[in-house]
């Protein structure tokens, strides 16, 4: 049985941390993935104490912060900047009892020229360095491969090999439906069974329009059940390997950002329900 989670990207243009918390609690979500940029906005008029107070009396619990992006192949200056945001994320996570921080490989026009060996070596190194810091805050890192070639690590297989080599209890994987689909249309769905449940930290649930992979993009994400990803199979396999955390609805659909957040959050709970098991 999976629980129900909400990733704030879904309403990032038409909501706020405050409103997401209120609506997710109202519609029965179990977990929320707060976004660091939305948190920074929230903290202009609120305190960490406000968040702690909310979660102390809510059913909804903090789950994963999103996200530290472009972790690979940084210049020293880029790395310092990344660490600044990373430490902010770790502090908030520690203070509100949020277990995971999502870390994402680097995107860029030259990333598809990187060899798998280069990506492996760099990812193992930077994830180790980030984990050294995160562990001191009691925070775990969930590495999320992004399915298309603009990102340097784009398959679950590649990410899992990296996470195995990192070999730390505090570093695991995010499985995201569209990122899994974007790589090769989920042609080897059974591969997910190779990953032990304790290394699957986060599950992002979403569907997408039935477009050729060469044009499919994150803005084509759509509510679960309205697209072409075999979400029922992915969710079933994850349940069968023993993952029992939240399926977090994560969409980046401009059409939804033009709608009322309440309508989306209510619709999201209904659309995810059939996949929770």
CB of 178 to Zn ion, least distance (A): 8
Reference 151, options 133, 128, 135, 174; nearest CA is: 174
Query: Is residue 239 a contact point for Zn ion (CB under 5 A)?
Result: no
CB of 272 to Zn ion, least distance (A): 14
What does residue 206 show for φ and ψ, rounded to 5 degrees?
Answer: -170, 165
Q: Which one among 8, 30, 33, 176 touches Zn ion, defined by CB under 5 A?
A: 176
Q: Is the peptide bond before 219 cis (omega within 30 degrees of 0)?
A: no
CB of 106 to Zn ion, least distance (A): 16
Strands in the chain per DSSP E: 3-7, 31-33, 61-62, 64-68, 100-103, 140-143, 171-176, 200-205, 207-208, 221-222, 246-249
Query: How many residues are there in the chain?
Result: 277
Query: Is residue 207 a contact point for Zn ion (CB under 5 A)?
Result: no
Per-residue mark of binding to Zn ion, 53-82 (x: CB under 5 A): ------------------------------
**And the tokens for 66?**
């999103």
Distance of CA 252 to the CA centre of its chain: 12
Query: Is residue 204 a contact point for Zn ion (CB under 5 A)?
Result: yes
Q: Which one among 8, 33, 207, 250 touches Zn ion, defined by CB under 5 A?
A: 250
Number of residues that bind Zn ion (CB under 5 A): 3
Binding part of the chain for Zn ion, among 150-158, 182-190, 234-242, 248-256 by CB under 5 A, reads: 248-256
Query: Is residue 35 a contact point for Zn ion (CB under 5 A)?
Result: no
**And the tokens for 206?**
């979403």
CB of 17 to Zn ion, least distance (A): 19
CB of 265 to Zn ion, least distance (A): 18
- Residue number, 122 or 176, with CB nearest to Zn ion: 176
Q: What is the dihedral of CA 114, 119, 121, 125, to 10 degrees?
A: 130
Binding site for Zn ion (CB under 5 A): 176, 204, 250
């Amino acid at each position: 049985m999976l629980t129900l989670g909400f990733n704030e990207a879904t309403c990032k243009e038409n909501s706020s941390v405050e409103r997401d918390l209120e609506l997710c609690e109202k519609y029965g979500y179990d977990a929320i993935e707060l976004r660091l940029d939305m948190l920074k906005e929230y903290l202009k008029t609120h305190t960490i104490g406000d968040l702690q107070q909310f979660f102390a009396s809510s059913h909804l619990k903090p789950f994963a912060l999103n996200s530290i992006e472009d972790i690979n192949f940084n210049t020293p200056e880029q790395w310092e900047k990344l660490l600044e945001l990373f430490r902010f994320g770790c502090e908030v996570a520690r203070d509100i009892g949020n277990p995971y921080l999502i870390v994402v490989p680097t995107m860029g026009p030259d990333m598809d020229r990187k060899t798998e060996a280069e990506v492996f070596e760099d990812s193992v190194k930077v994830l180790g360095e980030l984990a050294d810091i995160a562990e001191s805050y009691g925070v775990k890192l969930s590495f999320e491969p992004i399915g298309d070639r603009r990102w340097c690590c784009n398959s679950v297989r590649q990410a899992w090999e990296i996470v195995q080599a990192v070999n730390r209890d505090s570093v695991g994987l995010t499985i995201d439906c569209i990122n899994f689909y974007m790589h090769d249309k989920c042609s080897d769905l059974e591969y997910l069974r190779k990953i032990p449940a304790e290394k699957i930290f986060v599950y992002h649930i979403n569907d997408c329009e039935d477009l050729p992979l060469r044009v499919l993009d994150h803005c084509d994400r759509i509510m679960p059940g309205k697209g072409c990803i075999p979400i029922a199979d992915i969710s079933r396999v994850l349940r069968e390997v023993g993952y029992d955390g939240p399926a977090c609805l994560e969409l980046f659909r401009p059409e939804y950002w033009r709608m009322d957040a309440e309508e989306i959050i209510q619709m999201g709970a209904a659309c995810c329900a059939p996949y929770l098991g």
